Structure formats: structure tokens, C-alpha cells
Amino acid sequence: MRGPIIKEHLTNATVAGAGSKEYYVKHDGRIMRVFVKGTVDGTRASGAVTVTLLPVAHFSDGKPVVTWPTNTAGNSDYLVYPPNGTLSVTATGAFSGCILTTGDGDFSEYLVQIANTTQNGSGGNLDATGIYLVTESA
């Protein structure tokens, strides 16, 4: 089979305020992309909807599987864009974005995390709704 492998993890879903979801994505390709879109209703005073793509392990000439290196903050920021593999949405309303890796690494597994820490001015949690989270590996 040729071509990208596309997997839909969330379809018109809700991630409650102070909630999160995690997915491990295994693949043997060289490029990984994460596409996300959704909506935060209400007036936001603090927090963000954060989506993170982290390489968990990669294939290496030196060892079969090794832990991916991290920076001084403990994040894997190698070959991932935006930096640290994190997309943070800090505006109310509809949002969308993409995280991707370069074609320069050969990874065996990724962790995709989506976290919602949005709150209104009274400190009440806001839900992120209508969320679509899709991964594509090639």
C-alpha cells in the first residue's frame, strides 16, 4: 500500500475544561502531521487549548530504539514544528492548526496530547467543542 496513512482520533468531540486526551500513534514512516480544529465558546480569561506532538522513540543506526533527545525544558523539540511540537490556542472562538515533523527522522511512535485549560473570568472551566483531531503519516 502506498500513500499516507490517515487516522481520525476525535470527531466532533468535546474536551472539557481542565480535561485532556492522549493518543499513541505507531508508524514506520518519515513524516507525521497532526491537524486539529474546534471551538471554545464564551469569554476566555485564562488558559489555552494545547495540542502537542512528541516523538516517543525513533530508529537509530546505533541502537534499535532509543529515547528521543529532549531540550533543557524536557521537551522533544528536534525536527518538529512549531518548536517543541506544541500548538497553543489562546483566543476564544474557532481554532485550527497543524503540527508537523520534517522528513529527516525515522520514528516508530508518537504521543499526541490535547489539553484544555481554558477558564472564564470567574475561574469556571470552558469546554472546547467540535474538535477534530487527525494524524497523517507518510
Q: Which residues are paired to 109 by β-bridges?
A: 26, 57
Residue 83, φ and ψ in degrees, nearest 5: -50, 140
User: What is the CA 70 to chain-centroid distance, rounded?
Assistant: 17
Region 83-100: mean pLDDT is 87
**Which segment of 40-49, 81-90, 105-114 scores lowest on mean pLDDT?**
105-114
| 105 contact partners, CB below 8 Å, separation of at least 6 | 30, 55, 58, 78, 79
Region 97-120: mean pLDDT is 82
Ranges 26-30, 67-71, 121-125, most confident: 121-125
- Per-residue confidence (pLDDT) for residue 107, from 0 to 100: 64
C-alpha cell at 4: 499516507
Class of domain 5-137: mainly beta
- At residue 51 the predicted structure's pLDDT band, cuts being 50, 70 and 90, is very high
- Per-residue confidence (pLDDT) for residue 62, from 0 to 100: 55
The rounded mean pLDDT for the chain is: 82
Is the pLDDT assigned to residue 131 strictly greater than 90?
A: yes
- At residue 31 the predicted structure's pLDDT band, cuts being 50, 70 and 90, is confident
Domain ranges, ordered by start, for the chain: 5-137
Is the pLDDT assigned to residue 122 strictly greater than 80?
A: yes
58 by Cβ neighbours in 10 Å (0-12 / 13-18 / 19+) ranks as buried
